[in-house]
Amino acid sequence: MKSRSEIWLSVLEEFSALCSVSTHRDAETVVSRVAREGDQFFTVTLPRFGKDFELALSHRRIPRDLFKGFARSRFTVEFIDENYGFVLDSRTQGGGTPKFLGGFMDLVFDSVFKTNYDEYEHISSSSSLSAVTLVPKIRSFNADQMVKAADAVAAIRQLCLMFAKEKASAPPAAIERAYGQFVETDKELDRPL
């Protein structure tokens, strides 16, 4: 019987081909995280990532408090001259899309914020961009991009929620810790006041 990792990596490969995105780093991340977290990566961590993704879709943007435990890409701010349409300045900051499953995420969310010259004057006079709350937002799609985005949404949901209903047993260290706490509580209850 195939392991969860083998099944998950096989499905990742299929969605990679369907959406024409590179998933090599995603595969490496899964292998590394499973080595550290065990099956809880599939039954706890990925479903939580999937729920955060669904929240981001419902908000039509990625708030900074989502996708905890996963690195985020850089977010680019382009300052456009509204009369001529060219980029006056470009800066990056943290808080873009998650790097994990990033190829799929970038088909759905836009990590580039374009602003006009007046806003450029206001922002550039402040000491940093941190005063401005900028987060990735859902892209504007043409017909071809809509199909790719829909496939990417299906891929992320399938990959994250594939093992969500399975109940994984706790790792031996967690069981041992809980047992020790139970014994301590039991001893305290036996002591007279």
What is the structure's pLDDT at 129?
Answer: 47
Given a contact cutoff of 8 angstroms between Cβ atoms, the answer to whether 92 and 72 are in contact is no
What pLDDT, on the 0 to 100 scale, is given for residue 27? Answer: 94
Cα 99 from Cα 111, distance rounded (Å): 12
Each domain of the chain, given as residue ranges in start order, spans 4-190
Q: Report pLDDT for 109.
A: 87
Query: Do 108 and 128 touch, CB atoms closer than 8 A?
Result: no
> CA 62, 67, 69 angle in degrees (round to 5)?
150
Helix, strand or coil for residue 151? helix
Predicted confidence at residue 91, as pLDDT, reads 60
Nearest to 37 by CA among 69, 61, 83, 8: 69
Q: Which residue in the block uniquely carries the two structure tokens 């069981």?
A: 175
Q: What residue ranges of the chain have pLDDT lower than 70?
A: 1, 79, 81-94, 116-135, 139, 167-171, 191-193
pTM to 2 decimals? Answer: 0.72
Q: What is the pLDDT of residue 10?
A: 92
Sole residue written with tokens 């879709």: 57
Burial grade of 77 (CB within 10 A; 0-12, 13-18, 19 or more): buried
